[in-house]
Homo-oligomer: A and B are copies of this chain.
Amino acid sequence: MPPTDFEPQTAPTLSAVAERAGVSAITVSRVVRLPEMVAPQTRAKVEAAMRELGYVPNQLAGALAGARTKSVGVLVPTIANSIFADTVQGLSDELEPLGYAVILAQSRYDADREDHMLSALLSRRPEAIIMVGSPATEDGARLLRRAGIPIVETWELPDEPIDAVAGFDNYAAGVAVAQHLVAQGRKHLAFIGGDDPRATRRWNGFNDTALRAGASPPRRLILERNASGSLVALAELPGVDAVFAANDAHAIGFMSGLRKAGLLREGPAAEQPVAVVGLGDLEMGRLISPGLSTIRVHGDAIGRTAARLILSREGPRRVDLGFELVLRDSG
């Protein structure tokens, strides 16, 4: 697109550089990859030629010729307004300095699109795939198993992982929140949020625990992914005195609903007519008032751990990053 520069329309190649520097192509290749192996004088000549020509190596060709592709495929449900962005950030912070490219794909919580993106990723021959959750279909799982590369499933701890895992126990998170709310004397619990596999696992832990503790059967309200629905969720949950939201955005939205209904106090959790606990520990939850109680998960660490899992075959292939119940004033 440059209207100025009159560069050759086709990018300079290794052999163009070689010719200009008066060496063979393979020597240029070595200057790029194994500079130590080339005599300083030759190297200088080649580097000058590269600079003059504005040479940018073609990694596609390099990869095809047998070297590594130095790329990883990353599949997330969504990246916008999502804590998964932390995971992507974490893993690319580990991987980019090592020369890896991150090929990002989003499934939008759609199984067909997930399968499609999975094979699209694989067609780029990444050296590994990191995904949030497990493949939604058996086709997807088979694709990954056959690929013969490291696969990291994250944000969960599947019983039969394809390969490696970096996540936490969503069921236990639900258990922890239910226990906390019940111990606080809450009797009418509800769970609001999505119905993806991870949210469902949290719900199961939450529900099982509440029932076992003798609370009335918890209600589950499925909401759109944006938090607006949480604003009016209260109307659907008459008599509720404690809510576990699948993420902090929903929790904060629900708190706004409570405020409008006059059911939010500036005081401590014990004084709240309706307790609210979120999940994610967004910075925002710390900043609002009353502060949001939440399950803190380590999205960034999940990403970094996933990166390490693909970089070395040693050590455990299943890492539980855990979570923490962070208590503030909302519940």
Query: Interface residues, chain A, CB within 8 Å of chain B?
Result: 1-2, 4-5, 7, 9, 11, 54, 56-61, 63-64, 69, 71, 74, 78-82, 85-86, 88-89, 92-93, 96, 99, 101-106, 108, 117, 119-125, 142-143, 145-151, 162-164, 226-228, 231, 249, 252-253, 255-256, 259, 282-284, 286-289, 300
Q: In the complex the two chains form, is B59's CB within 8 Å of A283's CB?
A: no
Contact among B2, B71, B163, B226 for A2, CB-based, below 8 A:
B163
Bound form: Cα–Cα A290–B85 in Å: 28
Question: Taking CB as reference atom, which chain B residue is nearest A128?
Answer: B1
Interface of A is mostly: mixed
Partner of A82, one of B85, B228, B287: B85
Whether the pair A148, B1 counts as a contact (CB closer than 8 A) is yes
- Report yes or no: A104 in contact with B106, Cβ–Cβ below 8 A: no
Question: 21 interchain pairs (CB within 8 A)?
Answer: A1-B164, A4-B145, A7-B146, A9-B148, A60-B69, A71-B103, A71-B124, A80-B88, A81-B283, A92-B105, A96-B120, A101-B121, A102-B103, A103-B103, A227-B287, A231-B287, A249-B283, A252-B288, A256-B289, A259-B289, A288-B288
Q: How far is the CB of A100 from chain B (nearest CB, A)?
A: 9
Q: Assess the A56–B143 pair: CB atoms within 8 A.
A: yes
Q: Are B256 and A288 in contact (CB under 8 A)?
A: yes
- Asked if B106 contacts A105 (CB within 8 A), the reply is no
Minimum distance in angstroms from A274 CB to a CB of chain B: 16
A73 to chain B, nearest CB (A): 9
Q: Is B64 a contact partner of A60 (Cβ separation < 8 A)?
A: yes
Which residue of chain B has the shortest Cβ distance to A284 in the bound complex?
B284
A102 touches B99 (CB 8 A): no
Contacts of A151 in B (CB 8 A): 1
Residues of B within 8 A of A92 (CB): 79, 104-106
Q: Report Cα–Cα, A259/B92, bound state, in Å.
A: 37
**Is the CB–CB distance between B283 and A226 below 8 Å?**
yes
Quick check: A101 and B120 within 8 Å, CB to CB?
yes
Neighbouring B residues of A142 by C-beta, 8 Å = 54
Q: Is A60 a contact partner of B231 (Cβ separation < 8 A)?
A: no
Bound Cα distance from A147 to B163, whole angstroms:
39
Contacts of A117 in B (CB 8 A): 96
Find chain B residues with CB under 8 A from A5 CB. 145-146
Q: Which of A61, A117, A148 has most chain B Cβ within 10 Å?
A: A148
Contact B105 A96, beta carbon cutoff 8 Å: yes
| Contact B69–A79 (Cβ < 8 Å) | no
Q: In the complex, what residue of chain B is closest to A144 when comparing beta carbons? A: B2
Residues on the B chain within 8 Å of A58, using CB: 64, 123, 125
**Top 10 closest A-B pairs, CB basis?**
A80-B89, A1-B163, A2-B145, A59-B123, A104-B104, A256-B287, A80-B85, A80-B86, A56-B122, A253-B287
Chain B residues with CB below 8 A from A282, complex form: 81
Known: A2-B146, A60-B64, A123-B56. A89 touches B106 (CB 8 A): yes
Cβ-closest chain B residue relative to A141: B2
A sample of 13 more A-B contacts (CB under 8 A), given A249-B284, A256-B287, is: A2-B162, A7-B146, A11-B125, A54-B142, A57-B123, A58-B64, A71-B103, A79-B89, A101-B121, A103-B104, A249-B283, A249-B287, A253-B283
